[in-house]
Structure 1
Amino acid sequence: MDRENQTIISEFLLLGLSSKAEQQQILFWLFLCVYLITVIGNLLIMLAIGLDTRLHSPMYFFLANLSFVDLCFSSVTVPKMLVNHIIRSKSISYVECMTQMYFFMTFGNMDGFLLVVMAYDRYMAICRPLHYTTVMRPGLCILLVAISWVITNLHALLHTLLTAELSFCADNTIPHFFCDPYPLRKLSCSNTFISDLMVFTVSGVMFITPFTCIVISYVFIFSNVMKFPSTQGIQKALSTCGSHLTVVSLFYGDVMGLYLRPSSSYSAVDTVASVIFTVVIPMLNPFIYTLRNQDMKLALQRLIHTKAILQMS
């Protein structure tokens, strides 16, 4: 179909998670509470790590970056949904939709790449402890994060440009609360086979490569840990990986069933998994890392105690 014979779409309609007014009200307050918890939790982690010199190590540097990414990831989608509910509107402009999709993919992929870097950090700490301080220098840590940002931004740019090249006809309703790439692409009246194939291939590489690196890292970690002479040493080594493994399981478990398939197979049922991926996991990460990490607990206690003293003085 020629572009000149098609309706030009200037905005999309986000149908949200429910069409019933009473359910929309409940979802609004639920999302608001979850978002506030996400913001406060991740900000506290970043402040605790930044202000406490005891936490100025590679592991906590990567954790601070993960908290920043999780905060931004949730902020890409939830505020727009909350604002639309307040002003009783479902619309999002074409430019806003493309922008939201770009940052959604950037921060979502960045989560995965940071988990790879954190797995490598745990590998060096457990399997190469004598070389840890010489290898995991501040310069290398910054370089690893910078490379991750470049790769994820390039992937998001490619995905967004391919989507922007598609033609959209009269149907502009997205059965979601944000511009998710796959339901958005289903609206296109263009032939998306080549575009879908390219997106699926690149996205597959962006998923498989980090996931494979994490698996390999933990194969070496577990094989090395099993050689420890005492069970106490094994427990101590594994305890440092427990939080990271939990986050990896949540993140990749959700991504596997949600995005590694053609856009044509996307259904409304997947919205629940998408909510977990975009809203719940960024909220849970601060709790996972603080509840299982004594150093983070103490740092947060010192931060809150210092704030209380300042308010009293």
Structure 2
Amino acid sequence: MWARDSIGPVMIAFLVLNTIAVALRVYVRSFMTKSFSYDDLAMLFAFSGFVVLCVTTFLSVTNGYGAEDFGLNPAYDQITAVKFFIISTLEYVIFVFIAKVSVALVLYRIAATSKPIRRVLEASVVIMFLWTIATSTIVGLQCRPLPFAWGEGTGTCMNPKILGNTGFSISAMDIASSFLYASLPVFLLRGVQLSLKMKISVCFLLGLGVVSSVATVIRLKYLVDVANLKSAVGPEAMNAYLTTFVYSITELGLTLLTASLAALRPLIGMIKWGNTQAQSYGQSYGVSGHRRSQRSRPDMGPSIRLDDIHSKASSQEYIVSKDGTAKSPHFVTVAEV
């Protein structure tokens, strides 16, 4: 059973990577840019949930969930294994929502002056919240009473097709939200006076979340197997659930990782690239070029907050008004781009 053998290393890898990435994000936001805010708190909460999710999944696997001799080996605790796996499934549904909210909050803060985009973000969070309530209710009520799912007492369980369709709906929400949040930076930066290089880097950093959808798309293949199960319990069902869960862990891990990496641009900016004289020349050129551009263009495009993108605490906002006057004394330079 490759899923049982793979899920442990996958969780360990993402726990290490995300611990480093989230710690660096907190450092950048707290000490470098001094812009720690509600989106960072949401990310910390999502990361804490990911740690709890990995712990409960470890407990399930170590107690025999997905093992070929599950039910025959006296070293395995069947009730504990199934119980913790169901708990992990519920945690996954909830913490995917929180991770997506943390990404939405980053865009919400950047779009401080764009009411239409903020309304879109608010609507997406409400839809995801309702979706999460519905799917978590189905997972929590998959067997009635729920203890019957891990072998206690008697009862009935839902048709596996319902659980499979629930998995499809979660995947649909994840893919749709990922592509929505990846495309919004394009509209945020439309008409803003920034170099093409800066615009591309911003769109790339804020669009990294699409990477997590790769695991989601792959998982769709295995959700078909879940939907075709004859019974929601038993060895075949456990193997199918555990296989999809490998990709679920990967998806959530990638979501947290890419969302944290998007905030590390100021840290990357500290690395010396190339000749410092060339950087100095570029900085001077960038300032004068920006001023000439201000004089020559009466309409500089919409104002936008870029405090999550630039590398210096003193340049947390670059706001250019319609009349061509800069509200901030600091100018974007080639060195910062």
Smaller-chain TM-score range?
A: 0.5 to 0.7
Question: Partner of 1:234 in structure 2?
Answer: 196
Separation in structure 2 between the aligned mates of residue 82 and residue 192 of structure 1, nearest angstrom = 24
Separation in structure 1 between the aligned mates of residue 61 and residue 175 of structure 2, nearest angstrom = 36
After superposition, the Cα gap between the structure-2 partners of 1:74 and 1:253, relative to the gap in structure 1 and judged at 3 Å, is farther
Question: Partner of 1:181 in structure 2?
Answer: none
After superposition, the Cα gap between the structure-2 partners of 1:61 and 1:171, relative to the gap in structure 1 and judged at 3 Å, is closer
Separation in structure 2 between the aligned mates of residue 202 and residue 276 of structure 1, nearest angstrom = 18
After superposition, the Cα gap between the structure-2 partners of 1:136 and 1:282, relative to the gap in structure 1 and judged at 3 Å, is closer
Q: Alpha-carbon deviation of 1:276?
A: 2.5
Superposition misfits of 4+ residues, deviation over 6 angstroms: 134-137, 143-146, 166-172, 296-299
Question: Partner of 2:251 in structure 1?
Answer: 277
- Residues 1:294 and 2:266 are matched in the alignment: yes
**Across the two proteins, how many residue pairs are aligned to each other?**
244
Determine which structure has the larger helix proportion and give its number. Answer: 1
Kept in 1, the 8 Å contact 2:212–2:251? The answer is yes
Kept in 2, the 8 Å contact 1:45–1:67? The answer is no
After superposition, the Cα gap between the structure-2 partners of 1:42 and 1:83, relative to the gap in structure 1 and judged at 3 Å, is farther
Separation in structure 2 between the aligned mates of residue 270 and residue 83 of structure 1, nearest angstrom = 15
Kept in 2, the 8 Å contact 1:62–1:114? The answer is yes
Kept in 2, the 8 Å contact 1:32–1:82? The answer is no
TM-score by length of 2: 0.51
SS at match of 2:159: coil
Structure with max Cα Rg: 2
Question: Partner of 2:210 in structure 1?
Answer: 249
Kept in 1, the 8 Å contact 2:182–2:207? The answer is no
Q: Alpha-carbon deviation of 1:168?
A: 9.7
Output the amino acid matched with 1:164.
C
Output the amino acid matched with 2:250.
I
Kept in 2, the 8 Å contact 1:35–1:283? The answer is no
- Residues 1:154 and 2:133 are matched in the alignment: yes
Output the amino acid matched with 1:68.
F
Alpha carbon RMSD of aligned pairs, Å? 5.1
Separation in structure 2 between the aligned mates of residue 34 and residue 208 of structure 1, nearest angstrom = 20
Which structure exhibits the higher relative contact order, with contacts defined as CA atoms closer than 8 Å and separated by 6 or more residues? 1
Deviates more, 1:40-49 or 1:154-163: 40-49
SS at match of 2:102: helix
After superposition, the Cα gap between the structure-2 partners of 1:89 and 1:241, relative to the gap in structure 1 and judged at 3 Å, is farther
Separation in structure 1 between the aligned mates of residue 207 and residue 146 of structure 2, nearest angstrom = 41
Separation in structure 2 between the aligned mates of residue 61 and residue 145 of structure 1, nearest angstrom = 17
SS at match of 1:157: helix
TM-score by length of 1: 0.54
After superposition, the Cα gap between the structure-2 partners of 1:277 and 1:114, relative to the gap in structure 1 and judged at 3 Å, is same
Question: Partner of 2:72 in structure 1?
Answer: none
- Encode CA deviations 1:92-124: one digit per residue, 9 max, x unaligned: 3554333222111111133234334434555x3
SS at match of 1:55: coil
- Encode CA deviations 1:200-221: one digit per residue, 9 max, x unaligned: 5753663465246336524534
Question: Partner of 1:17 in structure 2?
Answer: 4
- Residues 1:214 and 2:202 are matched in the alignment: no
Question: Partner of 1:49 in structure 2?
Answer: 29
- Residues 1:164 and 2:137 are matched in the alignment: no
SS at match of 2:54: helix
Return the match for 2:92 from 100, 104, 111: 104
Separation in structure 2 between the aligned mates of residue 279 and residue 205 of structure 1, nearest angstrom = 18
- Encode CA deviations 1:265-290: one digit per residue, 9 max, x unaligned: 6587656534522445545654x235
Kept in 1, the 8 Å contact 2:18–2:257? The answer is yes
After superposition, the Cα gap between the structure-2 partners of 1:48 and 1:217, relative to the gap in structure 1 and judged at 3 Å, is closer
- Encode CA deviations 1:257-313: one digit per residue, 9 max, x unaligned: 314854336587656534522445545654x2355x1168779xxxxxxxxxxxxxx
Question: Partner of 2:232 in structure 1?
Answer: none
